[in-house]
Structure formats: structure tokens, C-alpha cells
Amino acid sequence: MKSAIGSVKSTSLSLIFTDFKEITKAKLAVSVVFSSIAGYFLGAYQIDLSSLFLLGFGGYCMVGASNAFNQVIEKDLDALMNRTKNRPIPSGRMSVATAMAIAIVLTILGIVSLYILSPKTAMFGAISIFLYTSVYTPLKTKTPLAVFVGAFPGAIPFMLGWVAATNDFGIEPGTLFMIQFFWQFPHFWALGWMLDEDYKKGGFKMLPTGRKDAGTAFQIILYTIWMIVISVMPAFGFTGRLHLSIPAAIIVLLAGLGMLFFGFKLYEKRDNPSARKLMLASVTYISLIQIIYVVDKFIS
């Protein structure tokens, strides 16, 4: 009997943990924390483990809070789409009140953690939550420009790490911001292309032209080119303490050209498999160049 009760408790805890991961979008949150830590390594004169912990914890809380607020706001629309109908709220596994409590607690914990690092870090974290939940989320059903607005909070993490390490905002974190800002357009439009039919069930307008057409594919190519240009700029000495060696810049350039190749393939074929390949290439690209930037700093 006791073992049966223990098994039920264990299952319940497992389900609660799973729903927490879903409401905070754990995989996305971890990737954001990775970006922030990469930015910290780039900006730091010396590595402080307590600062890294606060940045990682605070960053997860802020992203998790944004996603929880988002799922509360979009609960009725989520129920209409195949990819989101099994999320905790539309499936009935979690109440709106519980999700709101999680979002509020994570917001407070996140801001406090980032404030301990520096007020500027907390400010950028708070701006990120506000833009994501109060501007980007409502705009998704109104206009494709929502992706442009959403690119701002999405671009903050990489630069946030630098600000956390230096308590300063200048050309260096600005460059990190621009890299991730331009990267988001090919990434999200590739995702939007793949999920276009599902997004339309929820009334979301994610593609720039509203259709899976040459215009959307052409804009993906343009933004990818801008992303490549910004990504190699630190090799030319324009970006203060943020710099790349020539070998590292060549690797970053080749990675960008690889992503551009998939952009051209999408323009040529205009099908979901091509969009999926571009989306996967974009995920690989952003993680790869962040690693290259950090490694290059410490070996060059």
C-alpha cells in the first residue's frame, strides 16, 4: 500500500515538473541562458561564479515568466492549434491562477537576481518581459510586424551577459544585440513557414507577406545577409573590446554562408522540408558562433 502511495506521489511530482518545464518552455529558456552566459564570458575581465549563477538563474526566471504570461494570454488560441493544444493550460492540467502565480514569482525572482548583478541588467531583463508579453504577444494576431517587435526581447540575452559582466552598455553589447536581432528573422520565419497552417488556426500572422511565397523567402535571405555582415564586424576593429581573430571570423563567415545557402534553397523550393532545414541551420548557427566568439577571446 505504501509503495503504491509512493508511486502515485512520484508520478504526480513528475507531472508537475513536466508541466513546469512546459509552461516555462525549458528548452528555449536554457538556450537563452546559454546566450547570456556567452555574453558574460565575452565581457568579463575575470569570471565570477556567483555572478554566473545569478545570471543563469535570473535569466531562466525571466524567460520562464515571459513564456508563462504568454501561455495565459494565448490559452484560448493555444487550444485551437495542434502544436499547443496539449500545453498545461488548454489541456486542463494547470489552472490560469497557478500559471499566473508561477509567472509572477519567476518575474520577482528574476528581477531580484539580475538586480543583484546590476540595476542595468535588471532593467534590460524587465524590458524584455514587458515587450514580449505586452507588445509582441498581442500583436501576433494583428500584424506580421509582431516578429520585428519580438526580435527586440529575443535579442537581449546575448548582450545581457556583457552588461551583467561590465555594468555598461556600449558598442560591444550593442553589436551582440544586433547579431541576435537579425538572426531571429530567418529563424522565426523558417519556423513560421513550417507551422503556417497551424498558426492560421490560431489567427497568428507570422510571415512577412502573410504567405509562403517568394517575398517571404527573399526577406529571409536579406536578413541573413545583414546577420552575416554584423557577425564578422568585430574582426575589423570597429567594436571596441569585442573582437574576432581572422581565423575565427572566417569560420563565422562560413557558418553564415551555410545558413544563407539554406535560405536560397527555401527561395528555390518553397516547401516545408527546406524551411525545416533552414530552421535547424539557424539553431546550429547561433550556438556555434557564440562558442566561437568565446573560444576566440580566450585563445587569441
pLDDT exceeds 70 at position 129? yes
For the chain, report the end-to-end CA distance as a whole number of angstroms. Answer: 63
Residue 184, C-beta contacts closer than 8 angstroms, at least 6 positions apart: 147, 150, 151, 154, 155
Query: Given a cut of 70, is residue 3 above it in pLDDT?
Result: no
Percent of the chain with pLDDT over 70: 96
Closest C-alpha among 42, 37, 67, 38 to residue 55: 37
Q: Where are the beta strands (DSSP E) in the chain?
A: none
> How many H helices and E strands in the chain?
13, 0
More confident residue, 8 or 149: 149
Averaged confidence pLDDT in the chain: 90
Domain residue ranges in the chain: 7-168, 170-300
Whether 10 shows a pLDDT value over 80: the answer reads no
| pLDDT tens digits, one per residue of 132-187 | 999 998 888 888 888 888 999 989 999 999 999 998 888 999 999 999 999 999 99
Residue 298, judged by CB atoms within 10 A of its CB (0-12, 13-18, 19+), counts as exposed
Residue 64, pLDDT above cutoff 90: yes
- The alpha carbons of the chain give a radius of gyration, in whole angstroms, of 20
| Alpha carbons 33 and 217: distance in angstroms, whole number | 30
CB-based contact 266:193 (threshold 8 Å): yes
Q: Is the pLDDT of residue 297 over 80?
A: yes
More confident of the two residues 202 and 243: 243
pLDDT tops 70 at residue 1 = no
Identify the pLDDT of residue 5.
Answer: 53
Cα gap 243→78, rounded to integer Å: 43
Nearest to 180 by CA among 282, 262, 61: 282
- Span 7-168 CATH architecture: Orthogonal Bundle (1.10)
Task: Tell me how many degrees the CA angle 76-79-82 measures, rounded to the nearest 5.
Answer: 145
Provide the CB-side half-sphere exposure for 20 (13 A, CA): 12
Q: Which amino acid is at 168?
A: D
What gap in Å lies between CA 137 and CA 60, rounded to an integer? 19
